[in-house]
């Protein structure tokens, strides 16, 4: 990346190892990706990945939570776990001299977490507090109800934290079963970046993880990973409205959009940059600067293995809710009929490529991006393909994508009764 070579190898146990040498600082970062996450959870167990990630660093068969924390802090390192829609993640950052020790600790966390009942209960309570807090935030309420409308029974419909009902029912036994199912070497990608030679990194990973065997069936063959039977995501545009006595109304327009392997993915990424990235974006300039409608206005288009979604949203005064909705809808419909000018298109490309370059400055960022691409099965050359493809996108490509995806929107509104009444009058 930025002319840095990513070295790739697969261990005999199926674990994928990536290494990017970068001696600029005496730091080594590692990202260990597990192909798990929200997509792999049963709907009735939403939040399972988040709870597992929260508890995974809180004790192993051999070490207590306090002992783990002391080992990390004694060398000034950082170690943490997280969960996302399409993966779980264990992150390490340390000076190069302590990397081997921290990698051994990470391996112990991955392979033999204890899921102590007291820690599970504590993290469950914290998660339930987080869920309650989200229910008081208009943006979160609008986003959650929009996602539920978009995805129905697909796991993407639910927030990463889960719901009060699902989290309350999770047990240490559920965590152990999920861990046993997905935390296995042939379902892991470890990406390392920093002051370490690739050959040394590969040998270290093999030493630490090489004896971790794939689970076997009774006949001695490797136990296959579960085949997900996810429901198809079918278009069903609808309105979702929640009254909430707030000082601003949140209006969202949502559209089902392409997954990461689609040829439309990068065009949608560029379109997202044009519409909603920063103070020079189309939505900010038109709806906030020129019309004064917005406290906040933007767009987002998450990268997903399965069908993704494209959202344009605005936070506005209740009196302006209907006008703001029409403004958003007008901007989305405009893309179907009016080509971006050469200047608009080039500015969006420059911004996207600039932001992309800035996202690859540190060893942690380098480890993250190469490991993420591998986990999504895009290939380690995707970094080059991304930078080659963006300049080739034409205004006609953007218009075609807008016509393909931005037809009838899903609408999500959270606001006062007055805001809702005004929006209902323009509903069509």
pLDDT in tens, 7-39: 999 999 999 999 999 998 999 999 999 999 999
The reported pLDDT for the residue numbered 294 is 87
Q: How far apart are CA 425 and CA 428, in angstroms?
A: 9
For residues 155 and 41, the answer to whether their CB atoms sit within 8 Å is yes
For residues 272 and 313, the answer to whether their CB atoms sit within 8 Å is no
DSSP secondary structure letters along 356-386: HHHTTSSHHHHHHHHHHHHHTT--TTHHHHH
For residues 288 and 278, the answer to whether their CB atoms sit within 8 Å is no
The reported pLDDT for the residue numbered 1 is 46
Residue ranges of the chain with per-residue pLDDT less than 50: 1
265 backbone dihedrals φ, ψ, rounded to 5°: -60, -50
Secondary structure (3-state) at 46: coil
For residues 86 and 39, the answer to whether their CB atoms sit within 8 Å is yes
For residues 110 and 185, the answer to whether their CB atoms sit within 8 Å is no
CA distances from 377 to 41, 82, 250, 260, 371 (A): 20, 20, 36, 10, 10
The 10 Å Cβ neighbour count of residue 148 is 16
The reported pLDDT for the residue numbered 380 is 86
Domains and CATH numbers, the chain: 6-209 (3.30.830.10), 239-426 (3.30.830.10)
Edge-to-edge strand ranges of the sheet holding 6-10? 6-10, 16-21, 188-194, 27-34, 88-95, 78-83
Strand 239-243 relative to strand 410-415, pairing? parallel
Counting other chains too, the contacts that 339-346 makes at CB distance below 8 Å and 24 or more residues apart are 339/395, 339/396, 339/398, 339/399, 340/274, 340/395, 340/398, 340/399, 341/395, 342/395, 344/274, 344/282, 345/274, 345/393, 345/394, 345/395, 345/398
């Amino acid at each position: 990346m930025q002319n840095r070579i990513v070295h790739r190898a697969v261990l005999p146990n199926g674990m994928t190892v990536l290494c990017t040498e970068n001696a600029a600082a005496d730091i080594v970062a590692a990202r260990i990706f597990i192909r798990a996450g929200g997509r792999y959870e049963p709907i009735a167990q939403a939040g399972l990945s988040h709870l597992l990630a929260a508890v995974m660093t809180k004790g192993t068969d051999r070490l207590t939570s306090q002992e783990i924390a002391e080992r990390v802090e004694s060398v000034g390192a950082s170690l943490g776990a997280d969960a996302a829609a399409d993966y779980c993640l264990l992150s390490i950052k340390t000076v190069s001299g302590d990397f081997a020790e921290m990698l051994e600790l990470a391996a112990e966390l991955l392979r033999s977490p204890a899921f102590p009942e007291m820690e599970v209960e504590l993290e469950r309570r914290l998660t339930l507090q987080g869920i309650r807090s989200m229910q008081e935030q208009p943006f979160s309420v609008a986003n959650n109800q929009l996602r539920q409308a978009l995805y129905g029974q697909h796991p993407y419909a639910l927030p990463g934290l889960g719901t009060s009902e699902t989290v309350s029912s999770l047990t240490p036994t559920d965590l152990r079963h999920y861990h046993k199912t997905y935390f296995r070497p042939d379902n892991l990608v470890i990406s390392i970046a920093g002051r370490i030679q690739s050959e040394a990194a590969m040998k270290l990973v093999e030493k630490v993880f090489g004896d971790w065997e794939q689970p076997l069936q009774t006949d001695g063959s490797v136990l296959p990973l579960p085949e997900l039977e996810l429901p198809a995501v079918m278009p069903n545009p609808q309105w979702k409205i929640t009254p909430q006595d707030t000082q601003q109304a949140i209006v969202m327009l949502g559209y089902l959009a392409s997954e990461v392997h689609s040829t439309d993915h990068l065009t949608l990424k560029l379109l997202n940059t044009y519409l909603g990235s920063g103070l020079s974006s189309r939505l900010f300039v038109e709806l906030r600067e020129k019309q004064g409608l917005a406290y906040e206005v933007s767009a987002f288009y998450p990268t997903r293995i399965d069908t993704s979604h494209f959202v344009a949203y605005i936070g506005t005064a209740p009196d302006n809710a209907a006008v703001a909705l029409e403004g958003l809808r007008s901007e989305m419909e405009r893309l179907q009929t009016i080509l971006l000018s050469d200047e608009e298109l080039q500015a969006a490309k420059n911004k996207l490529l600039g932001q992309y370059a800035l996202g690859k400055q540190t060893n942690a960022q380098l480890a993250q991006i190469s490991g993420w691409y591998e986990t999504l099965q895009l290939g380690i050359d995707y970094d080059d393909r991304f930078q080659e493809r963006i300049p080739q996108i034409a205004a006609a490509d953007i218009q075609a994508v807008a016509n393909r995806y931005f037809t009838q929107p899903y609408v999500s509104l959270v606001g006062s009764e007055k805001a809702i009444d005004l929006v209902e009058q323009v509903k069509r």
